[in-house]
Structure 1
Amino acid sequence: MNAFYEVLDQLYKKVLLGATLESDSHKYVFYLNPALSDQECATTLSVEWPDTDGVQDRHQPPPVEVTATPAAGVCVKRISQTSSVRETKLLQLTVIHVMISRVVSVETEIHAQEKYRDITKILLHSAEVDCKLICLVQNSDRLLSHMAAKCLALLLYFQLKEKITLSSYWSVFCQKNLSEYSESNEVMHCLWILIAVIKEVFKDTCSEKAEILKQFLTTFDNTFEVFYSSLFSQHFENCQDPSKIVNSLVSFLDLLELLIASRIYLKLHFRSQRVLFLKPSCVLDILTWPIQAFVKRKLMIFIKKCLLCKVGEDLCHASVLVTMSPDHHLDVDMLALANAVLHTVNLGLLKTWSVDGKWPCFGGKEVHPGCGDTAGPDHVLLRAASLVIMKSLEIKFRNYTSVNEMKVDLQRFMSELLTFLKPHLQPSLQLHNPCEWLSRVFIEQDDDMLEAAKASLSIYLQLSREYESTGSLTQEKEMWMHHTHENGYNPHCIFIFFLKNIGFDSTVLLDFLISSETCFLEYFVRYLKLLQKDWDNFFTICKVFDATEIQPGMNICGCVPLLVQDQSSHQMPPFDGLTAPDSHIHAHTCLPWASGDSSELLKQDVMSSETHTTSDHSPPSPHASHTLVDYDSSDDSGAESMDQHVTNSQQTSYNPQASRKIQDPAGTSRYKKELSLQPQSSPLVPKQSAASFSIDCAVAPNNIVAEEGIFYRIVKCFEELQGAIYRLQTKNLFPYNPAALLKLLKCMEVIYSKSVSLL
C-alpha cells in the first residue's frame, strides 16, 4: 500500500474515534483534497509528514498553504492499477463525510470539533471541494458517485448550519437540471441530494432548524414548482427510458413529502410546500398511467399521509413533534386535495383501476418455489385507496351546509367504494353486514383501520348533528339509519366488528390505549360519547348481530330499519328473523325497554344520575393541561377540539417516568372518589342480570339466557377494561391521566344499570 493511502487510513481511524488532530489544518487538506481524474496523479510526494499527532509516514505536504482550483488536485504518485486510485478517492470521500458528521454532531469533543470545522472550511474555500464533489457525482462509477453525493449533501448542510452562503456551483447545477424535466442522471442526483439535505435538517436537535431550512428553500422555491409541473406533465408512453421517469417520480414524491412535513412541523410557508394542493390533479393523473404497481402504491400511501397529516412522521422525533395549532391555509389545502380525490373517483377511476396481480414481497419481486401462489389483489393498494376516500369524504363534509347534499355524495362514493372492494373480498360482502368491509380490508393494518373507523364515525356524527339541527322527521331518521347500514358506515356495527376481531379481549384495548402508534384513544372516546346518546340503537344492533349468527344468511340492512320503526311507533311487532330457528317467542319479548317511552326514560335517568355523580366535586387538578381532556363538553365542541387534546396527551405523556410526575396522589384519590371505582363497587355486568341480554330467547326460560350474546360480551369487556385502567392508575403505571376516560366508562356502567332496572 502506498504511503499516501496509509496516511489517509490513519487519519480515518482518528476521525472515526473523534480524536483531536494536532497538526496544521492545511496539511490535512493536502491529503483530503480529491482529484478529479486519474491523469492528475502525476505529482510524487517526496517530503516527510511530521509526527506531531501520531500519524507516522515518510512524507509531508509543502509547508505553504495549498491553493487548488476545480481543475487541479493533489493525488498519489502514478499507479498502474486503476483500482488503487479509485480506492484512494473513496477513502478521501469517506474521511470527509465522517469529519463533517463529527462537526455537526453534539457528541463530538469541543476541541476536536473545532479542528474538524477548520479543516472543512479550508476544504470549502481554498480547495473548492464542493465544485469537485459535483463533478464526482456525475462519475460513471456508481459507488464513487454515491459517496460524492453523500459528502456533498452533508457539506451543504454544514454550510447552512454555519450560515455560509451556498456555493454558486451547486445552485447553478441544481437549477439547471430541475428547470425542466429530462431523462438525464443529473436529475436523480439533484433530487437525492436535496432529500438528503432536508433529512439532515429534520434530524438536527437544535432550535434553529426552521431558519436553517428556510435559508435552503429560499434558493429553490421557484425551481421546485417548475419541476413539479414539468415532471407530471410527461406522457409515460412517449418516454425513451421509462425507468428514469419512474425513479424521478419516486424521488420527487419523497421530496414533496419532506416539503409538506416542513410546513406542518416547522411552520414554514413557501409556495413549493403547497404545490401539491394547488395542482393536485397533476399527481392524481399518475394513477391512470400504465406504470408499475409499486409507483401507484407509493402515490396512494403518500396521498394518505397528506390527508392524515402524517407526512414525515418517521423523521420527526419526540422533540420535533409540536402541537398542531389551527392552520386555516392548511385546512383549505386539505379540502382542495380531498375534492380532487373525490373528483377523480367520480370520473370512474375505481371502475377502471385494477389491483390484481402478484402480492408485494418484502425484499424482492418473487417468492421462492413452494411458498404458495402470490396471485391476488394488492391489499396495500386496497387499504390505501379505501382510507383516502374515507378521509376525503370526512374533510369535504366539514364544509357542507346541506344534509341532503351530504347524503347524496356519501351514498355515491360509498357505493363506488363497496363495488370496488367486493370482488376482492372473499367471501363476498353480499351475504354479510356491509359495514364489515372496514374490518376485513384493514385487518392487517391496525393504524389504518382505526383511522378509517374514526373518519367513518366523524361522518356519522356530522350527519347526526345536521339531522338534529334541522329537526328532521322520525321517518327521515329511520331512512338515514337504513342508509348507514346499507353503505357500510354505521359506527355501532364497525365497533362491534372491531371487537369481534380482537375476541372481545380487554387487554388488546388496553394496549391500544397505552400505545401512541394509533388514534385508538381519540376514536374510543368519541365512540363512548356517541354510545351515551345512542344506547338503544346499539342494543338493537347487538341483538341483530346475535340473530345473524343464528341465521347466517340474514341481511342486517333488512332487520335494523324495522326495529327502528318499531321503536318510533312505540310498538314491537313480531319479527321472526330475530329469534332462534323454530322459536315461538318473538324478538320484541327480548326488548322490553326498546320502545320510545322506555328509552327516553332511560336517557333522563342516566343524565340525572351523571349530574348527581359529578356535580359535587372539585374541578380537576392543575395537571389537567398535560392529561386527557375532560370530555363532558358538548358533542359539537368535543368533536372539534378532541384532535388537539388527544394529540397533546399522546405526544407528551407516553412515558412511564413522565406519568409519575403528571399524576399527583391527591388528584388520583379525588378521581377515585368521584368515579366510585373502588374494587368493591358494583360490577358493570351484574351476575344475576347479565344473562338477560342474549338473543337466544328460545333456549332460556323467562328471558334469562346464556352469556354468549354480543351485548353481554361487550359490556363485560368494558368492565374488565375499566378495572385494568383503574389498577394501573392507582399504581402510577398508566402513561397519562385516564380520569376522563374512566368517567366515560363509568357512564356505561350507569346506563347499563338503568337498563337492567327497566327489565
Structure 2
Amino acid sequence: MRYILEIKMEGAQEVLDQLYKKVLLGATLEDDIHSYIFYLNPDLSGQAGHTTSSLAQASVNGVLDAMPGPHGPSSSEVTAPPEAQECMKRQFHVNKAWEVKLLQLTVVHAILSRVLSAETETHTKEGYRELIEVLLQSTEIDSKLICMLQDSDKLLSHMTAKCLASLLYFQLREKTTLSHPWITFCEKHLSESLESAEAVHCLWILTAVIKEILKDTHPQRTEILKQLLTPLDITFEVFYTSLFSQHFGDFRNPSHIVNSLVCCLELLELLAASRIHLKLHFKSQRILFLKPCALNILAWPIPAFVKRKLVILIKKCLLCKVGEDLCCGSVPFLISPEHLLDGDMLALADALLHAVHLGLWKALSIPRKPSCFGGDEVQPGCRPRSGPDHVTLRAASLITVKSLEIKFQNCTSANEMKVDLQKFMSELLAFLKPHLQPSLQLHNPCEWLSRVFIEQDDDMLEAARASLSIYLHLTREWDTCACLTQEREAWIHYTHGNGCNPHCIFLFFLKSIAFDSTVLLDFLISSETCFLEYFVKYLKLLQKDWDHFLSICKFFAATGPKCGVNVHDPLPSLVHNGSTSHMVPRALASPVGCINACLWIPQASDAAFDSQSQTVMPKETHTVPAHGPPSWTPQSLVDYDSSGGSDEEAPSEHLVNSKQTSLCQELTREVQGLPRTCKDQKELSLEPQSRPVHPKEASPLFSASGNGAPSGTIQEVGPFLRTLKCLEELHSAIYRLQEKNLFPYNPAALLKLLKGVEAKCHNVGALGSTAAFV
C-alpha cells in the first residue's frame, strides 16, 4: 500500500511541475481540465499518512534513543535496526507529502493570479477559470484550505493563507457566493479568541483581500468590497473593541498578542483607505475614528515598533494619506469634501487631544536608539547611531498639531482656542524637551518644528501648514474688529510662547535650507509636499502682517547669538534699480517700533554661529521630468488669490512642449544661471509662449551681478535681507521659467504675491533714511 502511495506522490509531483511551468508561461491547458483536479486536490497529499512531520520525527528519535549510548559502537559500525529504518521511511513519505502540498498550493495560487490578471489572454483565462470553479464545486477546496490554515508547519500555513486569500478574491471578482465556511471561520475566531493563531489568520487574509481590491482597476471595486465587508462588519467591530479595551495584563499570553495587534493595525489602515477611496461607510471602516480605544496600547509594555505603527496610522488618517501607496493617483485629488468624513476626523482629533490632556505623551516611551530600515539592531562593525526614535517623535508631534488645527476649524470661541493652544502645545513641548539635544531655547519655542522635522520634508511642511492654520484661526478676529495694539501684541506673544508663530517658523525653515531659493523652487514644482499651499497662504499673511514679520526679524537678529542662528551673512553688492533706489535704509520705522529687526551688526562671534547652525537640504530635488510634464495637476493658485478672475490668473494652455529633454536642460541652465546655447535658443524660439509677467513686475530688488562690492556697500546682512533676497531670487527664477513656458503650472498669482512682498520692502525703505549702513 505504501509503495502505491509513493508512486502516486512521485507521479503527482511530476504532473504538478509540468502544470506549474505551463501556468508561468501563460500557456493554454490542452489536456482535459478535469484530469488536473485529482492532482490539485489536497486530499491526495493527505493519503500518505495522517502523522505530522513532528510526530514522525519523534518516533525516529524514540527508536534511536533506545540504541546504545555514547559508549556503544559508532553509526558507521552498526546498521540501524528495522524499527529505525521503518520510521525513516515513514519520515520520507511525510516529507514527500509536505512537498506535494506546497506544490499544490503554489500551482493553485499561480492559476488564480493568471485568472485575475488583465494581461492573460481571454481563451487561456477561460480554461484557468473553469479549473478553479471545478475545484470549488467538486473538491470544496475552500473548506480544505481553511483546515490547512491550522497546520503547525509555518510555511505550509502561510502558503495556505496566500492561496485562500486569492481564492476569496476570485469569488468576489466572479460575483459568486463568498465562501460560507470562511465566513463561519471568521465569525467564530474573531469573536472568541483574541490571541489565537486563527484570529491572526483571519485578519491577515482580510488584509490581503482588501489590498488586492485597492490595487485592482476593476470598475466594480466598491461593490466587491461591499460584498466582503457586509457579513463581517459587526464581527470585526466586536473584535476591535475587545482587543483594545482590555488591560494588557488581562491576556493569558501577552507575547502572542503582538501578532494580533500588528495584523489588526494593518487591517485598520486598509479599511480607512478603502473608506476614503471607495466612498463606503461601514462601521469597520469608521471604527478607528469613532472608537479610538486603540490609543490605549501606547501605554502598554509592548515593543516600540507596534506603538510607532499606531502613531503613524493616526497620522495618515488625519492627513488623508492612508492607502496612497496602493491606490492609483494621489489621495487629495481623489477625495472631495464630505460631511461624514469631516465629522469622523473631528471625533478622532478630539479623542487624541483628550488623551494628550490625560498624559498620553507622558506615558509614551521613546526608545533611545533610532529606528533603522530592516530593524533596530546594529550590525557588528557598524557605528551605532545616537538619538531617539525620530520617526515616532515626528508622527506624535504632527498628529498633535493636526488635531489642534481640525479642532480650531470647528471652534468659534477665541478664548477657548487660546486655552486649548496653551494646554496642548505645552504638553507637546514638554514631551519633546528631553529628546532634543541641545534642548530648545526658552526664548524661541517655535524652533521645535524645524528641529523635529529636519530630516523629513513632507512632514515638516504639513506641520508648518497646520501651525499656520492654527495661527490664522486664532487671529481671525483681527479682521472683524478693531483690536487695540496692546491686545494684538499680547496675541502675538501668546502664539510665539506656544511655538506657533508663523514668521518664526518660516525663518527657521529658510535657515534649515540655508536661504537657498533653488530649494524653494524644487518644492514648488514637486507634488510630494504641500509646500505650494503653505507658501501661498504664508505670502498672503506676510503682506497683511508685515509689521509683525519685521518684529520677528528684529527678534532673530537680537537672539541669534543665543540660539545659533547665523544672522550675519555675506551678500553680494546692492545696486540701484533704474527707477527705484534700493539702498538699505539706516533706520526703518514700524508701528510697533521693531524695524531695527533688519539691522546687521557685525560681531566677532559670527563664525561660531555657522558651526552651530543646522543646514539641511531636501532628501532629493525635483525637476520637470524629461519625458513629459508631471502627472499631477496642482490646485489652482486662483483659489488662493482674492483678486478675482483676471487674465493673468487664467490657467496656462501650454505647460511643457513635447521636446522635453532640451527644455529640461534649459530649465536647469536658467535655474543655475548657465549660458544658453544657440541650439537651445533656436528650439525655444519655436515654442508657444504664454503671457509672461511684465518685466517691471519681475525687477529684482537685489542684484547679484558683479563680483566686487563698491566701497560703502553692505557686506553683512540680517534675517530680514536674507529672506527678501531669497524671495527675490525665487521670483526671478519663476519668471524666467514662465517666460520660456517651462513652469509646470500657471504661476501668475504666485508671482503677484511675491511682487507684493517687494512692494512692502520698497515702502519700508521709503520710510527711513536712504543712507547705507556701514
Alpha-carbon offset, residue 402 of structure 1: 1.2
Q: Aligned partners of 2:595, 2:376: CA distance in 1, in Å?
A: 59
Which residue of structure 1 lines up, in the alignment, with residue 202 of structure 2?
190
- SS class of match (1:365): coil
* 1:629 and 1:740 in contact (8 A); partners too: yes
Which residue of structure 2 lines up, in the alignment, with residue 91 of structure 1?
103
More deviation in 437-446 or 543-552? 543-552
Is 1:25 the equivalent of 2:45? no
Which residue of structure 1 lines up, in the alignment, with residue 216 of structure 2?
204
Q: Aligned partners of 1:135, 1:207: CA distance in 2, in Å?
A: 33
Q: Report 1:675-754 matches (<5 A).
A: 675-677=693-695, 681-685=698-702, 705-754=714-763
1:165 alignment partner, one of 158, 165, 177? 177
1:417 alignment partner, one of 402, 423, 428? 428
Alpha-carbon offset, residue 174 of structure 1: 0.9
AA of the residue aligned to 1:683: P
* 1:659 and 1:732 in contact (8 A); partners too: no
* 2:550 and 2:597 in contact (8 A); partners too: no
- SS class of match (1:2): helix
Which residue of structure 1 lines up, in the alignment, with residue 494 of structure 2?
483
* 2:554 and 2:598 in contact (8 A); partners too: no
Q: Aligned partners of 2:634, 2:347: CA distance in 1, in Å?
A: 34
Q: Aligned partners of 1:209, 1:356: CA distance in 2, in Å?
A: 41
- Residue 626 to residue 408, structure 1, CA distance change in 2 (3 Å): closer
AA of the residue aligned to 2:192: E
Q: Aligned partners of 2:198, 2:248: CA distance in 1, in Å?
A: 19
Q: Aligned partners of 2:231, 2:424: CA distance in 1, in Å?
A: 42
Q: Aligned partners of 1:90, 1:241: CA distance in 2, in Å?
A: 30
- Residue 462 to residue 573, structure 1, CA distance change in 2 (3 Å): closer
Alpha-carbon offset, residue 375 of structure 1: 5.5
Q: Aligned partners of 1:78, 1:7: CA distance in 2, in Å?
A: 23
- SS class of match (2:192): coil
Alpha-carbon offset, residue 488 of structure 1: 1.0
Q: Aligned partners of 1:203, 1:709: CA distance in 2, in Å?
A: 51
Q: Give the structure, 1 or 2, with the largest relative contact order (CA under 8 Å, sep 6 or more).
A: 2
Which residue of structure 2 lines up, in the alignment, with residue 300 of structure 1?
311
Alpha-carbon offset, residue 33 of structure 1: 1.8
- SS class of match (2:368): strand
Which residue of structure 1 lines up, in the alignment, with residue 56 of structure 2?
none
Is 1:254 the equivalent of 2:262? no
Which residue of structure 1 lines up, in the alignment, with residue 79 of structure 2?
none
What CA deviation, in whole Å up to 9, does each residue of 1:654-700 have, x standing for no partner? 9997999xxxx99985541xx2258x952132579xx99xxxxxxx9
* 2:304 and 2:367 in contact (8 A); partners too: no
Is 1:341 the equivalent of 2:352? yes
Q: Aligned partners of 1:485, 1:87: CA distance in 2, in Å?
A: 67
Which residue of structure 1 lines up, in the alignment, with residue 674 of structure 2?
none
2:523 alignment partner, one of 512, 515, 538? 512
- SS class of match (2:637): coil
What CA deviation, in whole Å up to 9, does each residue of 1:246-278 have, x standing for no partner? 111111111111111111111011111111222
- Residue 656 to residue 499, structure 1, CA distance change in 2 (3 Å): farther
Q: Aligned partners of 2:193, 2:507: CA distance in 1, in Å?
A: 51
AA of the residue aligned to 1:713: R
* 2:433 and 2:439 in contact (8 A); partners too: yes
* 1:304 and 1:388 in contact (8 A); partners too: yes
- Residue 27 to residue 555, structure 1, CA distance change in 2 (3 Å): closer
AA of the residue aligned to 2:128: Y
1:526 alignment partner, one of 529, 537, 550? 537
Q: Report 1:397-546 matches (<5 A).
A: 397-430=408-441, 433-546=444-557
2:147 alignment partner, one of 132, 135, 140? 135
AA of the residue aligned to 1:314: D
Q: Aligned partners of 1:144, 1:302: CA distance in 2, in Å?
A: 31
* 1:659 and 1:736 in contact (8 A); partners too: no
Q: Aligned partners of 2:377, 2:91: CA distance in 1, in Å?
A: 44
- SS class of match (1:539): helix
* 1:718 and 1:745 in contact (8 A); partners too: yes
- Residue 654 to residue 284, structure 1, CA distance change in 2 (3 Å): farther
Alignment root-mean-square deviation, CA: 3.7
Which residue of structure 1 lines up, in the alignment, with residue 682 of structure 2?
none
Q: Aligned partners of 2:594, 2:531: CA distance in 1, in Å?
A: 36
Q: Aligned partners of 2:655, 2:346: CA distance in 1, in Å?
A: 31
Which residue of structure 2 lines up, in the alignment, with residue 111 of structure 1?
123
* 1:725 and 1:734 in contact (8 A); partners too: yes
What CA deviation, in whole Å up to 9, does each residue of 1:539-564 have, x standing for no partner? 332233233335659999xxxxxxxx
Alpha-carbon offset, residue 16 of structure 1: 0.5
* 1:178 and 1:187 in contact (8 A); partners too: yes
What CA deviation, in whole Å up to 9, does each residue of 1:546-605 have, x standing for no partner? 33335659999xxxxxxxxx9446x679999996669xxxxxxxxxxxxxxxxxxxxxxx
Which residue of structure 2 lines up, in the alignment, with residue 354 of structure 1?
365
Q: Aligned partners of 2:595, 2:465: CA distance in 1, in Å?
A: 35
Q: Aligned partners of 1:732, 1:546: CA distance in 2, in Å?
A: 39
Alpha-carbon offset, residue 127 of structure 1: 1.6
- Residue 655 to residue 444, structure 1, CA distance change in 2 (3 Å): farther
- Residue 354 to residue 476, structure 1, CA distance change in 2 (3 Å): same
> How does the TM-score come out when normalised to structure 1?
0.78
- Residue 40 to residue 654, structure 1, CA distance change in 2 (3 Å): farther
AA of the residue aligned to 1:88: V
Alpha-carbon offset, residue 316 of structure 1: 1.3
AA of the residue aligned to 1:325: S
- SS class of match (1:521): helix
Matched pairs, number = 646
Which residue of structure 1 lines up, in the alignment, with residue 54 of structure 2?
none
Q: Aligned partners of 1:357, 1:85: CA distance in 2, in Å?
A: 48
Alpha-carbon offset, residue 410 of structure 1: 0.3
* 1:554 and 1:577 in contact (8 A); partners too: no
Alpha-carbon offset, residue 720 of structure 1: 2.4
- Residue 14 to residue 730, structure 1, CA distance change in 2 (3 Å): farther
- SS class of match (2:478): helix
What CA deviation, in whole Å up to 9, does each residue of 1:443-471 have, x standing for no partner? 11111111110000000111121233243
What CA deviation, in whole Å up to 9, does each residue of 1:162-182 have, x standing for no partner? 100111111100111112343
Alpha-carbon offset, residue 15 of structure 1: 0.5
Alpha-carbon offset, residue 91 of structure 1: 1.2
- SS class of match (2:412): coil
Q: Report percent identity of matched pairs.
A: 63
More deviation in 123-132 or 704-713? 704-713
1:331 alignment partner, one of 342, 345, 350? 342
Alpha-carbon offset, residue 536 of structure 1: 2.7
> How does the TM-score come out when normalised to structure 2?
0.77
Alpha-carbon offset, residue 288 of structure 1: 1.7
AA of the residue aligned to 1:751: K
Alpha-carbon offset, residue 404 of structure 1: 1.2
Is 1:11 the equivalent of 2:15? no
Which residue of structure 2 lines up, in the alignment, with residue 268 of structure 1?
280
- Residue 99 to residue 478, structure 1, CA distance change in 2 (3 Å): same
- Residue 154 to residue 730, structure 1, CA distance change in 2 (3 Å): farther
Q: Report 1:367-386 matches (<5 A).
A: 367-374=378-385, 376-386=387-397
Alpha-carbon offset, residue 101 of structure 1: 0.7
Alpha-carbon offset, residue 511 of structure 1: 1.8
Q: Report 1:225-236 matches (<5 A).
A: 225-236=237-248
- SS class of match (1:221): helix
AA of the residue aligned to 1:531: L
Q: Report 1:569-584 matches (<5 A).
A: none
- Residue 41 to residue 553, structure 1, CA distance change in 2 (3 Å): closer
